[in-house]
């Protein structure tokens, strides 16, 4: 088997591939050598799937003094255009980068990382333990749609990776990294995949004769249309009518964002505003979707659990996030801008290892949202 990938050898009828590519990367890193080149830079072909464009970026809905409470802004991946404060205040418009494809030949996947020559590209967060040296799968042409963020956060998986999946289907065998002890498969992922007709090939390791990678982080019209098609598939599974809103509980799940008075807020909204209350850890997907579908407002602590409702929100509806002051995230603002929806937030005040939201501020912010 001929290959441009360094340190590849094959043996026997089973065509096993042996490679020290991952160890060469670790050795370079230990020796303090410059970071490896991005595998995408070695593409034999790159092309635009959708062009760049200008899209609206309106201000969020929030009370005076809220942003002054923020003590921590989440990592820069969520802020591709400006500082998040300016994103909340409204940029007017932003330039969305093009959606692109990249074809790379003779590339190895080993434990979440792609290797070719001295280049590397991570499809998943770095695993614990030593990487494998035996690759027992060869694929003629694959297309990877997963991402490190999608493998780590359920909200990103459903909002971004699943939206990229149709692009992968157009280019080859749709490929994702296999779940691991550190990053297991999300509990509701199999049901979502069944509803969406997704049949990914999940791999720990493979040798690709050809592999297509994508740049699909821009909230452009092409991405919007793919998301709309996904939303329609999900909504076709349930019957629903418009209702005031749903408050999606987070509790102690995921990265700690402990809202001390979460149940008080949920019960208040249920009594005063007619909101439904949903704990997605306690129900199956049909119940989750039926509860969220038709909501005019999706509210709750900023986090992945909100994606169940945000993902099927109608144009003109609203998302209201309750933000811990030490971890402000703009993620849902970008999605609501793309999908012609509204975004509002309330920043809490510290309370031990958690935070607290003022009910009066919550009510006043809800009153700001367009009806």
Confidence at residue 82, expressed as pLDDT on a 0 to 100 scale: 60
The residues pairing with 349 across neighbouring beta strands, listed in sequence order, are: 356
In a 3-state reduction of DSSP, which class is residue 118?
coil
For the residues 157-173, what does the mean pLDDT come to? 98
Contact 295, 320 (CB under 8 A): no
- Round to whole Å and give the CA distance between 241 and 292: 10
Question: Tokens representing 99?
Answer: 């959606």
- Residue 130 above 60 pLDDT? yes
Distances (CA, A) of 287 to 199, 237, 282, 307, 362: 23, 11, 10, 15, 27
Work out whether strand 138-144 and strand 173-177 pair parallel, antiparallel, or are unpaired. parallel
Tell me what pLDDT residue 15 has: 61
pLDDT tens column, 177-225: 999 888 899 999 999 999 999 999 999 999 999 999 999 999 999 999 9
139 pLDDT higher than 60 = yes
Q: pLDDT per residue over 72-103, tens digit each?
A: 988 544 555 567 889 999 999 999 999 999 99
Half-sphere exposure for 345 (CA within 13 Å, toward CB): 31
How far apart (Å, rounded) are the C-alpha atoms in residues 130 and 122? Answer: 16
Q: What is the mean pLDDT of the chain?
A: 92
For residue 3, the model assigns a pLDDT of 40
- pLDDT at position 360 over 50: yes
Judge contact between 244 and 273, C-beta under 8 A. yes
CATH 1.10.1060 fits 61-96+227-368, yes or no: no
pLDDT at 25: 85
- Rounded CA-CA distance 28/48 in Å is 33
Q: What is the pLDDT of residue 18?
A: 86
Gap between the Cα atoms of 230 and 233, Å rounded: 5
Contact 198, 145 (CB under 8 A): no
pLDDT at 271: 98
pLDDT above 90 as % of the chain:
79
Which residues touch 73 (CB under 8 Å, ≥6 apart)? 79, 83, 84, 85, 328
pLDDT 10s digits, 263-301: 999 999 999 999 999 999 999 999 999 999 999 999 999
Cβ 183 vs Cβ 125: under 8 Å: yes
pLDDT for res 76: 47
Q: What is the pLDDT at residue 16?
A: 75
Task: Specify the pLDDT at position 35.
Answer: 65
Q: What is the pLDDT of residue 75?
A: 57
Helix, coil or strand: residue 256: coil
Mean pLDDT of 40-58: 97
pLDDT digits (tens, 9 = 90+) for 303-337: 999 999 999 999 999 999 999 999 999 999 999 99
Phi, psi dihedrals of residue 260, rounded to the nearest 5°? -60, -35
> Which single residue is written with the structure tokens 């494809």?
101
- Could you give the CA distance from residue 298 to residue 315 in angstroms, rounded to a whole number? 13
Identify the DSSP state of 78: G
pLDDT in the model for residue 324: 96
CB 209 within 8 A of CB 138: yes
Confidence grade of residue 22 (pLDDT, cut at 50, 70, 90): confident
**pLDDT score for 126:** 75
Specify the pLDDT at position 13: 38
Please state, in angstroms and rounded to a whole number, the distance separating the CA atoms of residues 151 and 113: 13
Q: How far apart are CA 90 and CA 215, in angstroms?
A: 25
187 phi and psi, to 5 degrees?
A: -55, -40
Q: Which helix (H) or strand (E) holds 116?
A: strand 113-116
Residue 30: predicted pLDDT: 83
Alpha-carbon distance 54 to 220, whole Å?
Answer: 8
Phi-psi region of 96 (alpha: psi -120 to 50; beta: other; left: phi over 0): beta
Q: Break the chain into its structural domains and give their ranges.
A: 8-35+99-217, 61-96+227-368
Residue 259 is classified by DSSP as: B
Instruction: Give the end-to-end CA distance of the chain in Å, rounded to a whole number.
Output: 63
Q: Give the per-residue pLDDT at 69.
A: 97
User: Is the pLDDT at 12 greater than 60, yes or no?
Assistant: no
Query: Does 6 score more than 50 pLDDT?
Result: no
Residue 92's nearest CA partner among 100, 79, 81, 103 is 81
Indicate the DSSP class of residue 160.
Answer: I
Q: Is the pLDDT of residue 7 over 70?
A: no
Lowest model confidence (mean pLDDT) among 29-38, 162-171, 254-263, 301-310: 29-38
């Amino acid at each position: 088997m001929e290959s441009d990938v360094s340190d590849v050898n094959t043996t026997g009828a089973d065509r096993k591939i042996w490679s020290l590519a991952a160890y060469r990367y670790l050795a370079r890193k230990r020796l303090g050598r410059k970071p490896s080149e991005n595998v995408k830079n070695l593409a034999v072909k790159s092309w635009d799937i959708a062009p760049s464009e200008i899209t609206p970026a309106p201000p969020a809905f929030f009370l005076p003094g809220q942003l002054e409470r923020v003590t921590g802004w989440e990592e820069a991946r969520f802020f591709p255009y400006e500082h998040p404060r300016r994103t909340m205040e409204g940029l007017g418009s932003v330039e969305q980068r093009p959606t692109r494809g990249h074809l790379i030949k003779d590339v190895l996947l080993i434990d979440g990382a792609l290797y070719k020559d001295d280049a590397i590209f991570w499809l998943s967060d770095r695993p614990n333990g030593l990487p494998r040296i035996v690759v027992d799968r060869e694929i003629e042409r694959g297309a990877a749609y997963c991402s490190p963020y999608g493998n780590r956060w359920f909200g990103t998986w459903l909002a971004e990776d699943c939206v990229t999946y149709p692009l992968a289907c157009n280019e080859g065998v749709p490929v994702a990294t296999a779940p691991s002890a550190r990053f297991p498969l999300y509990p509701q992922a199999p049901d979502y995949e069944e509803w969406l007709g997704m049949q990914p090939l999940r791999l720990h390791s493979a040798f690709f004769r050809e592999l297509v990678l994508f740049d699909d982080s821009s909230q452009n019209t092409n991405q919007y249309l793919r998301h709309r098609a996904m939303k329609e598939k999900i909504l076709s599974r349930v019957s629903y009518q418009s209702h005031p809103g749903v408050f999606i509980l987070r509790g102690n799940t995921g990265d700690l964002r402990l809202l001390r008075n979460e149940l008080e807020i949920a019960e208040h909204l249920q009594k005063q505003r007619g909101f439904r209350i949903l704990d997605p850890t306690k129900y199956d997907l049909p119940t989750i979707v039926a509860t969220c579908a038709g909501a005019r407002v999706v509210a709750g602590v900023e986090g992945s659990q909100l994606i169940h409702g945000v993902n099927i929100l109608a144009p003109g509806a609203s998302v209201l996030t309750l933000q811990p002051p030490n971890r402000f995230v703009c993620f849902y603002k970008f999605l609501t801008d793309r999908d012609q929806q509204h975004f509002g937030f309330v920043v809490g005040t510290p309370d031990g290892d958690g935070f607290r939201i003022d009910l009066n501020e919550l009510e006043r912010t809800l009153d700001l949202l367009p009806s």
